């Protein structure tokens, strides 16, 4: 019987995206590579909780196939118990950066990330381009984030469905892609109430179109909505952005959110392309307003 593997997520390294597996193995994801796997039945016949903070789920709880978190309610609460995102690490002494990230026309967000992580957070989110805004203590970074949300109506989240909907229709030039965050950056650093301990950063846009392989990528016709026991996925990798793999299949480009892989036993497979539920890519939601 073929050996089963459990995926622990997509990671972005200096050399590009890799799939990480429980036990430490990694698989590089190079464009043109065929991504193919079958979905095992598992002991309980389905997907199980991945646990929290390096610990296995004590209940081995089942989790829904459509969940991108792959954790039961109790493990999800434990995982967020010491989380910057959940505001439970207010006394973290490490320096943080505030950033502006752009995902497509009318889709800019503000966020924070630890300085030690460099641009990893932006790659993980699928930011098409970004610029640092300020650097300083965690709570000062949080105050700046809140200031932009209140004064300039800049959100701190962009739905992944909206990001996917525009990747094949981005402006061709780097300057055009950076234009929205350029204007917003100038307005943000000039705001009254800027935290004194947060050092303003100059506008220096970083573009990820080449890193993601989005130049000339065909529009996606569908998205894998969930994996199912006994199912299979196979396609040629044409682009990767954030957690998403854009796979060329017989029916067109289909997006696979790799967060859906966690909690399943995955097996080597070939022959079947898409023996899993696939939903049609929806039209992009209305663009945000109020930036200028």
The string of DSSP letters for 15-50 reads TEEEEEETTS-EEE--TTPEEEEEE---TTSS-B--
3-class secondary structure, 120: helix
Model pLDDT, residue 54:
82
Cα separation, 30 vs 15, whole angstroms: 9
Q: What is the dihedral of CA 110, 111, 115, 116, to 10 degrees?
A: -140
State the average pLDDT for the chain: 89
* pTM tops 0.85, yes or no: yes
Model pLDDT, residue 286:
44
Model pLDDT, residue 97:
97
- pLDDT beyond 60 at 235: yes
Rounded to the nearest 5°, which phi and psi values hold at 71? -130, 145
H/E stretch holding 145? helix 138-152
Cα separation, 51 vs 34, whole angstroms: 30
Cα separation, 221 vs 228, whole angstroms: 20
Cα separation, 264 vs 285, whole angstroms: 31
Model pLDDT, residue 207:
97
Q: Which residues contact 91 (CB under 8 A, 6 or more apart)?
A: none
Cα separation, 106 vs 109, whole angstroms: 10
pLDDT digits (tens, 9 = 90+) for 162-208: 999 999 999 999 999 999 999 999 999 999 999 999 999 999 999 99
Cα separation, 31 vs 238, whole angstroms: 5
């Amino acid at each position: 019987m073929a050996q089963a593997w459990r995926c622990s997520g997509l990671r972005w390294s200096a050399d590009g995206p890799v799939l990480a597996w429980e036990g430490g193995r990694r698989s590089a994801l190079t464009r043109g590579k065929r991504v193919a796997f079958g979905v095992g039945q598992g002991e309980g016949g389905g997907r199980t909780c991945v646990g929290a903070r390096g610990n296995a789920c004590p209940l081995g709880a089942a989790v829904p196939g459509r969940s991108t978190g792959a954790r039961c309610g109790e493990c999800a609460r434990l995982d967020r118990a010491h989380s910057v995102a959940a505001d439970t690490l207010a006394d973290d002494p490490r320096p943080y950066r505030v950033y502006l990230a752009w995902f497509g026309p009318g889709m800019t967000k503000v966020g924070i990330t630890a300085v030690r992580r460099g641009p990893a957070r932006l790659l993980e989110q699928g930011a098409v381009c970004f610029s640092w805004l300020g650097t300083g203590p965690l709570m000062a970074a949080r105050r700046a984030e809140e200031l932009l949300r209140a004064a300039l109506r800049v959100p701190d989240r962009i739905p992944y469905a909206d990001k996917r909907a525009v990747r094949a229709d981005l402006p061709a030039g780097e300057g055009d892609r950076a234009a929205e965050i350029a204007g917003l950056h100038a307005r943000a650093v000039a705001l009254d109430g800027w935290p004194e301990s947060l050092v303003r950063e100059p506008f220096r846009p970083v573009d990820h179109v080449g890193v993601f392989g989005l130049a000339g990528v065909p529009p996606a016709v569908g998205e894998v909505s969930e994996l199912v026991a006994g199912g299979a996925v196979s396609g040629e990798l044409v682009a990767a952005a954030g957690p998403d793999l854009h796979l060329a299949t017989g029916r067109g480009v289909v997006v696979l959110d790799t967060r859906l892989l966690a909690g399943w036993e995955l097996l080597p497979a070939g022959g079947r392309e898409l023996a899993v539920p696939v939903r049609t890519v929806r039209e992009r939601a209305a663009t945000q307003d109020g930036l200028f």
